[in-house]
Amino acid sequence: MPRRTFDPTERIGVNAVERIVTKDFNWIWREQQVADFGVDGQIEAVDPDGRPTGQLFAVQIKSGPSYFRGTGETIPFYVDEDHLKYWDQHALPVILVLHNPEDGQTVWQWADLKTARATSERWCIDVPRSKVFTAETKAELQDQVWSDDSVGRRRRFAFDRQLMKEFEGRDAFVTIDKWVNKSLRFRGIEVRFDDPDKQLPDYKIPIMATWDYEISDLMQHFLPWLQYEYYEEPEDVAGEVEGHVLTVWLSKPAKAFLELEVFFGNPPEVPESEDDERSMPNEDWDERQ
């Protein structure tokens, strides 16, 4: 059996996008925690005061020098019909980001039917070489999306549905460390199943929160589909860090959402009935035409 080797190319691309989003945009990057069909993570816009806006974008990242071959003004990215339809129908606006690990070039384009063209066998999204993924990208992203709190919650439920399923019927715990003397007060949310004390979390949601939020605010914003109570009193570590451990479970709206997702994916067959045609007298039906 040939030895398996590690290829860091894709990881380099994800790291590059995370750096641009968090350092240049000063926005929030959240890597996809559960395998997704064509989405690597999401970006959330942050207002000038450092508060998250609920404006969310899904991101597909492709990394490698092979994407940048050629000298044309655009980079052709070929995609099959299933992926393109998935992006076009996604709950969030989807962008495609291409990264060249050799020279650090990073470019982007919207990933939907409007930007794609049909070829003889597949579809192609032309990514302009001039469409560099930098802080200036923020304006175009925000111009395309409007959001309020209710829209943000709907999108969060839709985007997190695979992660939500992981909580069904399981003991689950969330750990959030609060750095009390730092401007960057919250740096991540950790999820553990079955044992709150095990060393490595099952999922880690990276966040960068500099605003004056409390634990309840973070839970409502990042995990609005969970209910919670404190598993134990917050632990103070040397006056620097407060460790908050919560017992969490799916809320009633979350359970209802997952039931609806099953229904929409597998709608029950409605049997035909002879009574259907006689349910309304003909004269009454004629009056409603």
DSSP string, the chain: -PPP----HHHHHHHHHHHIIIIII--EEEE-SS--SS--EEEEEE-TTS-EEEEEEEEEEEE-GGGG-S-SSEEEEEE-HHHHHHHHT-SS-EEEEEE-TTT--EEEEE-STTTEEE-SSSEEEEEETT-B-STTHHHHHHHH----HHHHHHHHHHHTHHHHHHTTTS-EEEEEEEETTSSS-EEEEEEEES-TT-SS-SEEEEEEE-S---HHHHHHHH-TTEEEEESSPPEEETTTEEEEEEEEEE-HHHHHHHHHHHHHHSPPP----GGGTTSS-HHHHHHH-
Mean pLDDT across the chain, nearest whole number?
Answer: 84
| Other residues' Cβ atoms within 10 Å of the Cβ of residue 72 | 10
Choice between 288 and 255, residue whose per-residue pLDDT is larger: 255
pLDDT at 31: 85
The conformational region for residue 78 under phi > 0 = left, psi -120 to 50 = alpha, else beta, is beta
Strand order from edge to edge, sheet including 123-128: 74-79, 123-128, 116-118
Regarding predicted confidence, which is higher, 230 or 183? 230
Closest by alpha carbon to 9, among 68, 80, 70, 73? Answer: 68
pLDDT of residue 285: 42
What is the C-alpha separation between 250 and 168, in angstroms, rounded? 7
pLDDT at residue 183, rounded to an integer: 65
Banded pLDDT at 20 (limits 50, 70, 90): very high
The yes-or-no verdict on residue 114 having pLDDT over 70 is yes
pLDDT value of residue 288:
44
Map out the domains of the chain as residue ranges.
Answer: 9-148, 160-265
Strand order in the sheet with 106-110: 28-31, 41-46, 52-63, 94-99, 106-110
pLDDT of residue 209: 63
0.95 exceeded by the pTM? no
pLDDT given at position 145: 62
**Which amino acid, 187?**
R
At 23-76, the pLDDT tens digits run 999 998 988 765 556 789 999 898 887 788 878 899 999 999 999 988 899 999
d(CA 71, CA 191): 46
Structure tokens at 218: 């973070």
Dihedral (C-alpha) 234, 235, 240, 241: value to the nearest 10 degrees? Answer: -60
Q: What are the structure tokens assigned to 145, written together? A: 């999306």
What confidence tens digit (pLDDT) does each residue in 141-174 have?
887 765 556 666 777 788 788 899 999 999 999 9
* Percentage above 90 pLDDT, the chain: 44
Mention every residue, 6+ apart, whose C-beta is less than 8 A from residue 85.
Answer: 113
Pairing of strands 106-110, 186-193: unpaired
Q: Which fold has domain 9-148?
A: Trna Endonuclease; Chain: A, domain 1 (3.40.1350)
Share of the chain above pLDDT 70, in %: 83
